[in-house]
Structure 1
Amino acid sequence: MHTLPLSEFRANASAMLDLVERGERVRILRHGRPVADLVPVGEAAEPVARVPRWKQPIEPLQLVRPDGRTGAQLIIDERERGA
């Protein structure tokens, strides 16, 4: 594992990414404390492209009435009767 300060990472970002592509790990320090680890994609603990729950597709609610009429048909009938 390569460990380097943030200023050095900024100066050599491309070279550090080359190391990561070859399977090595790079730890970045800020003020002497570790703030990030660059690891190859296969080693990542979480999937990178994880879709938030609120963006996941949902199944629309399917209600079936005993008489087979849809909600749209019920609204049209009510409008015709009440208007």
Structure 2
Amino acid sequence: MHTLALSEFRANASAMLDLVEQGERVRILRHGRPVADLVPVGAAPETVPRLPRWKMPIEPLRLARPDGRTGAQLIVDERERGA
């Protein structure tokens, strides 16, 4: 792993990205403290928080009836017969 200051990274950004493309990791420091790690895309852990399963969007269930009528049509027919 290569470790360098932010100012040094700015001066050599292209060379550092070349190293990352070759599989190296680069740690960037600001005032002596690590602020970022550059890692190859395939090696990056999933840092984006995943939604819990219950918050994931769902596709509505679509049931096809043999006669081709929808649920709304069935409700309307039932109301007309009952009225």
Local SS of the residue matching 2:60: coil
5+ long unaligned stretches in structure 1: none
1:61 shift after superposition:
3.4
Whole-Å Cα distance in 2 between the matches of residues 52 and 18 of structure 1? 33
Aligned partner of 2:26 in structure 1 is: 26
Whole-Å Cα distance in 2 between the matches of residues 26 and 75 of structure 1? 63
Aligned partner of 2:7 in structure 1 is: 7
Whole-Å Cα distance in 2 between the matches of residues 38 and 76 of structure 1? 61
Matches within 5 A, 1:1-83: 1-46=1-46, 58-62=58-62, 69-73=69-73
Aligned length: 77
What stretches of structure 1 move > 6 A for 4+ residues in a row?
A: none
Local SS of the residue matching 1:61: coil
Q: TM-score, normalised by structure 2?
A: 0.63
5+ long unaligned stretches in structure 2: none
RMSD of aligned alpha carbons? 3.6
Local SS of the residue matching 1:10: helix
**1:30 counterpart letter in structure 2:** R
1:57 shift after superposition:
5.2
CA offsets 1:17-73 (integer angstroms, 9 cap, x no match): 00011111100001100011111122111177x88676x652203478xxx852432
